[in-house]
Structures are given as C-alpha cells and as structure tokens.
Amino acid sequence: MKRSKAEAVRRKLEKISKAAESKLPQKLQPPSDDPVEFAEKWFGIKAFEYQRKLAKAFVKPYLTIVVRWARQTGKSYFVAILLIWYALKHGNVEIGIVGPSLRQAKLYTQRINGLLTKINPSYYERPFRKTMVRFPNGAVIQAFPNNPETIRGHTLHVVCWTEMNFTPDDLDMYDAISYAMATTNGIFIGESTPWSRNHLFYRMFRDDEAYPPSDVFRSHVSWRDAVRPKGPLDPKFVERKKRETAADPFRWQREMEAEWSEDEACYFNQTLITSCIDSNLEYIPEDVIIATA
C-alpha cells in the first residue's frame, strides 16, 4: 500500500517536472542558409521551380529583383516567406513594404503574421500588429504608405514593392527607396502583374542599359509555367479565366500571360488611370456607407 502511494507521488512529480520543462525557453534553431529549405522545413511549403530561382537570386548576388508572374502564382506568398527568412537571419535590419496604398502593404504584414502563427512563438514578438512585425533579434518588417516622404527618414535593408506596376509616382518612390538603402547595399524586390508601359517596372524589364540583366534579376512566369504541377494554378481556374476574359483579350494578356498589353481603343489609357489613383485614400468601410446612406 505504502509503496503504491510512493509510486503515485513519484509519477505526479515526474509529470510536473515535464510540464515545467516544456515551459522553459527552448534553445532556438537558426534558420537554414537556404530559403527554399527554410520554407519546406519551417512551413511545409515546397517551392516551385520559378520560386526556387527567385530564392537563389535573393540570396545574392542580385540587389535588384523584378518579379512579373501571372495572377495567383505565389508572388506575395513566396516573397513573404523570403522576408521572414531574411528577418530571422539578420538581426537589427529594417525591411520595408510599399505598394499602391498602405492597405495593400498591410495585406503583406497580415500575411506574414498568418505565416508566423505556424512556427514557435519565440521567433517573433507578440501581439501582432497591422503595420509592423517585430522579431526578438531586432529585425522589423514594416508596411509603408505610398508616400516617399515617410520612407526618406528610414534606413532599409530590404524593400518589397508589391503591385509595383499599379503604383503611381513610381520615380519619386524609387528615388526615396534608393536613398533609404544607400548605406545598406539593400535588396529591392518589385513584384506585380503588368499594367502600364510608362512605368519603372516596365523599364526594369526592358531597358538593358539602365537596368542590365547582369545586375537586375528579371523573372517572368506565365500561367503556362505555373499550372499544376509546375505551380499552384488549377487548370480549371485557368479555363474559367480564359472564358471570362474572352471579351477582353488584353486583360488575359496582362493577368495570365503576364505580358504588357493595352487596348489602344480604350478611352482612358492605363498611365492616365494610374495617375488618377490617390494612394492616400482608403476604402470607406461598409458600415460607414450604411450609416450615411
């Protein structure tokens, strides 16, 4: 009787000690040097061939990278992984995300927050915020509004420009980004589906003198390169999109072939449309519309 009581106490103690051990800060594994391996081991994401090539370019020697992939092929998804990898790998760095509006830049930080919930919480700081992701090593990922002035005061190590081709005032923005990275030898990634030709995104792909391919990594992926199993596109989705855009082949060209194309018969040209976007305006929340109706 006595013996079994002692045994029960011993078992209880063992349980408590195990529970206490699991609460102790665990020694954190550093991420692997290869972002592709990192994506697979940490998030269970197997990179597609074109994503592998992008990861390779990101690890160097390229400091300027432009990504022109069809819609839904994993631009934002994979670049978000690359940014997390960079932040975990390099302490005290500042990574900036810009886009046509703060709303679009914030979608990136939200996506990053979503990915981080899949890993050990000791790797990032909580609570999650909408515009900023902080890491215990001092690295920060921050979403910026499309306003060159807000970038100018910062020193940035990586800049991701999402929906680049849809962002107005591209030259002012790029100028501010260049200065923010002047002392860091930082990496620039512009990702977008094509829109207007009168834009830096187009020139980065087409102007070999100003942006020589030896310095600028250019990646083009059409739906053909990203349909399963080569990428995440469902062949049924591609078929449906083809049907839906039959009346607007220019849209198919831009969104699925990831090629520039402009309907010359359109009343407003694309450059004009982009220049009319006020990036500081945010959508009116639906409840406000209802309240004022």
Ligand X SMILES: Nc1ncnc2c1ncn2[C@@H]1O[C@H](COP(=O)(O)OP(=O)(O)O)[C@@H](O)[C@H]1O
Single out the residue of 73, 113, 167, 192 in contact with ligand X (rule: CB under 6 A): 73
Peptide bond into 35 cis (omega under 30): no
The closest of 138, 119, 102 to 44, measured between CA atoms, is 119
Residues 95-134 that bind ligand X (CB under 6 A): none
Nearest Cα to Cα of residue 74 among 227, 235, 259, 205: 227
Q: Per-residue contact track with Mg ion, 41 to 80, x per CB under 5 A?
A: ----------------------------------xx----
* CB distance 111 to 78 below 8 Å: no
Give the x/- contact pattern for ligand X in 219-258, rule: CB under 6 A. Answer: -------------x--------------------------
Among 36, 38, 72, 260, binds ligand X (CB under 6 A): 72
Binding string to ligand X for residues 160 to 199, with x set by CB under 6 A, is what? ----------------------------------------
Q: Look at residues 5, 79, 68 and name the one whose alpha carbon lies nearest to residue 201.
A: 68
Nearer to ligand X, 150 or 232 (CB): 232
Query: Binding residue for ligand X (CB under 6 A) from 75, 157, 241, 254?
Result: 75
| Percent helix / strand / coil, the chain, rounded to 5 | 45, 15, 40
Q: Using CB under 6 A, which of 52, 71, 90, 154 touches ligand X?
A: 71
How many residues form the binding site for Mg ion (CB under 5 A)?
Answer: 2
Cα–Cα dist 201/280, whole Å: 21
With beta carbons less than 8 A apart as the criterion, state whether 230 and 49 touch. yes
Residue (of 149, 100, 113, 136) closest to 275 by Cα position: 100
Taking CB atoms, the residue at the shortest distance from ligand X is 74
Structure tokens at 147: 């306003």
Q: How far is CA 14 from CA 17, 26, 206, in A?
A: 5, 19, 67
Q: Which two tokens stand for residue 248?
A: 């607007």
Question: Residue from 51, 104, 165, 196 that binds ligand X (CB under 6 A)?
Answer: 51
Q: Does 113 bind Mg ion (CB under 5 A)?
A: no
Summarize as ranges the residues that interact with ligand X (CB under 6 A): 45-48, 51, 69, 71-78, 232
| Binding footprint of Mg ion on the chain (CB under 5 A) | 75-76
